[in-house]
A and B are shown apart, each in its own frame.
Chain A
Amino acid sequence: AQTVTQSQPEMSVQEAETVTLSCTYDTSESDYYLFWYKQPPSRQMILVIRQEAYKQQNATENRFSVNFQKAAKSFSLKISDSQLGDAAMYFCAYRSPNFGNEKLTFGTGTRLTIIP
């Protein structure tokens, strides 16, 4: 069974600065998907960024980028130029590549606070 570990329950960053959230995972599969989801107080989970394991290039979405280290089974999220709207819970998640299998395995989350 796959597991996802987020070792930082809480993080804080000054507005406009850069912060990195950590995630490690355990799997015996060679291909898979990794995700970072954001959950603001409104409760709705929103996809931030997605990485396919067979792609060596790290994914980037505007101010959000990942550092994907497949051998180390590490998948960290970097948020640049932090904004007040980035304050939320961030969850790292894993999905097997099997077609039709939509099960996500989530970590326990990191609460990100933005300091004005």
Chain B
Amino acid sequence: DAGVTQSPTHLIKTRGQQVTLRCSPISGHKSVSWYQQVLGQGPQFIFQYYEKEERGRGNFPDRFSARQFPNYSSELNVNALLLGDSALYLCASSSVQANTGELFFGEGSRLTVL
């Protein structure tokens, strides 16, 4: 079975632009979470979506938004990019019903803002 897939793997944007990152969860997983990992730090929680509804939001500005589609894939949008948004963006999926707490991560999208 395929794991969590993210696209694109790398991208470069300039300040003020907008970016959309995409994530496909493991088949059967209905929960998708997004994390931002700045170089040298641990991942920071941005959003969680479960059954197409937002279940959690981290301490990020309104420039960050996300949504989940009927097939449980998800998009993360960041508007008005700042240099500080440069980071690895990780998507994770989970089977909430299993309630093991384990998240399965993709390989991330590396965003560079110039």
Per-residue 0/1 for A1-17: is the Cβ within 8 Å of any B Cβ (1 yes, 0 no)?
A: 00010000000000000
Which chain B positions have C-beta within 8 A of A101?
48, 55-56
B50 lies within 8 A of A91 (CB):
no
Size of the chain A interface, CB-CB below 8 angstroms? 26
Task: Name the distance in Å between A92's Cβ and chain B's nearest Cβ.
Answer: 9
- Known A91-B42, A102-B33; further 5 A-B contacts with Cβ < 8 A: A43-B107, A45-B90, A93-B42, A99-B96, A101-B48
Using known A-B contacts A102-B31, A102-B48, A103-B48, determine if residue A47 contacts B43 with beta carbons closer than 8 Å.
Answer: no
Identify 23 residue pairs between A and B in the complex whose beta-carbon atoms are under 8 Å apart, listed by A's number. Answer: A33-B101, A35-B101, A37-B105, A42-B107, A43-B88, A43-B108, A45-B105, A47-B103, A52-B101, A91-B43, A99-B96, A100-B31, A100-B55, A101-B56, A102-B48, A102-B55, A102-B96, A102-B101, A103-B48, A106-B43, A106-B44, A108-B41, A109-B42
A104: contacting residue among B31, B43, B96, CB under 8 A: B43
Q: Which of B35-66 contact A (CB under 8 A)?
A: 35, 40-45, 48, 50, 55-56, 58
Say which size band chain B's interface belongs to.
20 to 34
Assess whether A30 is interfacial by the CB under 8 Å rule: no
Per-residue 0/1 for A46-58: is the Cβ within 8 Å of any B Cβ (1 yes, 0 no)?
A: 1100101000000
Q: In the assembly, what is the distance between CA of A109 and CA of B38, in Å?
A: 12
Task: Name the distance in Å between A39's Cβ and chain B's nearest Cβ.
Answer: 9
B94 lies within 8 A of A50 (CB):
no
Q: In the assembly, what is the distance between CA of A4 and CA of B50, in Å?
A: 25
Closest chain A residue to B44 by CB distance? A106
